[in-house]
Amino acid sequence: MSIHFHEEDLPEGLAFHGDIAVDTEAMGLMPGRDRLCLVQLSDGKGDEHLVRFGPDSDYSAPRLKALLSDPERLKLYHFARFDVAIMAEYLQIIAAPLYCTRTASRLVRTYTDRHGLKDLVKELVGHEISKQQQTSDWGATDISDAQREYAASDVRFLHALKAKLDERLERENRVELAQGCFDFLPHRALLDIAGWPDQDIFAHDG
C-alpha cells in the first residue's frame, strides 16, 4: 500500500481498474469562493493517488478529467454533493456516474444519526481512521505526511463500504431508491453552485 503524490495532473500511463473512489480537499466548503486544492483517487487495489493544485493552477489536468468524466466508470464518494460541486466549479466536469456512501448510509442506517466516514468505517469495516487533519490548511506550499495520510484514508475504504452498504440496501429493499438519489446528486450539486444551497425547491411553503 503506497500513497503517490502528483502535481497538477495524473502522470501519463497510470492505469486505474474498475470503480474509482474519489475525494477532494479545498480551502473551505463554498465552491467558487474556496479553491480546490487536492483530488484523491483509489481503485481499491491498495494504492492512493493525490493530485495537488497550486494557487495559480489553470486546472487543465487532461488525464484526471478524462478519468473522472468517463461515463463508463463508477465514481465512489462520501458526501458526493460537495465533491461533485467543487470539481464542476474548478475542473469543469461532472464526475459521474456516482455512488455516495453517506447517502446510502442515511437510507439504511436509520437507527443512528452518525453518518460520517469515521463512524461508517469503524462500524462496517472495523478500522479506525483519524480526522485530525480535516480542517488543516490544504493550500499550504508543503503538504505534510499527516495530511497525505488523512487524504488517502478518505478514499481507502470506500470500495469496502460500498460492498457492505449494498448488502443493506438489498436487504431493506432500497436499491432503486438509492440509485434515484445517486442519479440526482449531480443536479443537487449544480443547484448549490447556482445559488440554491439551502433551499428545498420542492417544498410547499406557501
- Residue 37 Cα distances to 9, 59, 78, 143, angstroms: 12, 10, 18, 10
Q: For residue 65, what are the contacts with CB-CB under 8 A and spacing of at least 6?
A: 91, 92, 93
Mean pLDDT on 2-11: 97
Q: Where are the domains of the chain?
A: 3-194
**119-155 pLDDT, tens digit each:** 999 999 998 887 666 678 999 989 999 999 999 999 9
Which residue from 178, 187, 189 is spatially nearest to 105, judged by alpha carbons? 178
- For the domain made up of 3-194, give the CATH fold: Nucleotidyltransferase; domain 5 (3.30.420)
pTM, entire model: 0.95
